[in-house]
Amino acid sequence: MSDFKVNHREGAGIHVIELKGYLDAHTATDLESAFQRLINDQKFRIVVNCRDLTYISSAGLGVFMAYIEDVRKNQGDIKLTNMSSKVYNVFDLLGFPILYEIYKDEQEAIRKFGESSTGR
Amino acid sequence: MSRFPRSITTTVRSSTDHLREVRHFVEAAARQFGFVDEDVSNIVLAVDEACTNIIKHAYGGSSTGEIRVTVIREGTSFEVQIHDQGRPFDPESIHPPNLKQHLSEYRRGGLGVYLMRRLMDQVEFSIHPGRPNEVRLVKYLGSPSAHTGT
């Protein structure tokens, strides 16, 4: 039984990745695969909905670090949404809000993509 | 008489699929000791980071090693001792990262020890030839939690 699930859906050119459960050094590869698939398919406008993400360790945060450069080089972005305060605290301790746009809800992040004319 | 044993131990294989088991073990002990949710989360994360480092660096990703996790509860002190028999890990090589630079270079990894120090009141590494490597993580009941602004 997996402690972690990644769901992917797409609407209007925005790709939403929903995370559920525990993202640690064991499950980080599942998220890596999801990002890798999107990048291989030239999909660079990505929203990560963390509503059901219960837990994250630095190994999980490292996955975001691994792909952000590729995504931005291609005029895209990874925007994060719907974090619990527990998960946000870990991002915050490591200074991630400097580098990533973090929104309260998914629609807000999608709107932000709409405001920029670049990306795919 | 104490409500719980002063010292409890679990031993797991050096594989990331055992991280969940270690987290559950430490979480239960921390809750029983009386920590609030935020402190429990911080302790669990610090122990996860320590064990992940051991799996990746001390055992180089091999799952044949052992990690022994001992919780010692005394007074207001909640101490987690983590022992392994892998390659010695030089704590002197771990400097607090310059987070802004680290992030601006999109560097991945290397943040575990930094997190452990932010989340716990004390973090110590003991490396002695012929003895297991030891990481000691201590949190005191009632000490401030690591969060924004502190």
Q: Do A69 and B114 touch (CB under 8 A)?
A: no
Instruction: Write down the mean pLDDT value for chain A.
Output: 93
Instruction: Please check whether residue A97 touches B, CB under 8 A.
Output: no
The confidence band for A43, taking pLDDT boundaries of 50, 70 and 90, is very high
Q: Do A26 and B103 touch (CB under 8 A)?
A: no
pLDDT, one tens digit per residue, over B95-146 is: 666 776 776 666 666 789 999 999 999 999 998 888 999 999 999 998 777 6
A57-A58-A59-A61 Cα dihedral, nearest 10 degrees:
100
Q: Which chain B residue has its CA at the smallest distance from A66's CA?
A: B108
Go through the domains of chain B in sequence order and give each one's CATH number: 7-140 (3.30.565.10)
Instruction: Please check whether residue A92 touches B, CB under 8 A.
Output: yes
The confidence band for A48, taking pLDDT boundaries of 50, 70 and 90, is very high
Which contiguous run of DSSP H or E holds residue B13? Answer: strand B7-13
Q: For residue B75, give the DSSP letter.
A: T
Whether A54 contacts A22, CB under 8 Å:
yes
| Phi and psi based region of residue A89 (left: phi greater than 0; alpha: psi -120 to 50; beta: remaining) | alpha
Tokens standing for residue B70: 């001992």
Q: Coil, strand or helix: which one is B26? A: helix
Which residues in chain A are closer than 8 Å to B38, comparing Cβ atoms? 86, 89
Instruction: Please check whether residue B94 touches A, CB under 8 A.
Output: no
Q: Using CB atoms, which residue from B37, B38, B49 is nearest to A57? A: B49
Which residues in chain A are closer than 8 Å to B19, comparing Cβ atoms? 24-26
Q: Do B115 and A90 touch (CB under 8 A)?
A: yes
| Closest CA of chain A from B147, distance in Å | 6
Q: Which chain B residue has its CA at the smallest distance from A26's CA?
A: B16
Residue A8 pLDDT exceeds 50: yes
Using CB atoms within 10 A of its CB, is residue B85 exposed (0-12), middle (13-18) or buried (19+)? middle
Assign domain A4-115 to a CATH class. Answer: alpha beta
Whether A53 contacts A75, CB under 8 Å:
no
Q: Using CB atoms, which residue from A26, A68, A95 is nearest to B106? A: A68
pLDDT, one tens digit per residue, over B33-62 is: 999 999 999 999 999 999 999 999 999 999
Q: What is the pLDDT of residue B1?
A: 53
Helix (H) and strand (E) counts for chain B? 4, 5
For B71-78, what is the mean pLDDT? 97
Residue B89 pLDDT exceeds 60: yes
Q: What is the pLDDT of residue B42?
A: 97
Q: Which chain A residue has its CA at the smallest distance from B110's CA?
A: A58
Choice between A1 and B117, residue whose per-residue pLDDT is larger: B117
* Residue B147, amino acid: H
Residue A119 pLDDT exceeds 90: no
φ/ψ (deg, to 5) at A29 = -65, -30
Whether A49 contacts A19, CB under 8 Å:
yes
Place of tokens 């120090």: B117
Whether B72 contacts B134, CB under 8 Å:
no
Q: What is the pLDDT of residue B94?
A: 64
Interface test with B, best of A73, A93, A98, A99 (most B CBs within 10 A): A93
pLDDT, one tens digit per residue, over A80-92 is: 999 999 999 999 9
| Closest CA of chain A from B104, distance in Å | 8
Q: Which chain A residue has its CA at the smallest distance from B37's CA?
A: A86
φ/ψ (deg, to 5) at A71 = -65, -45
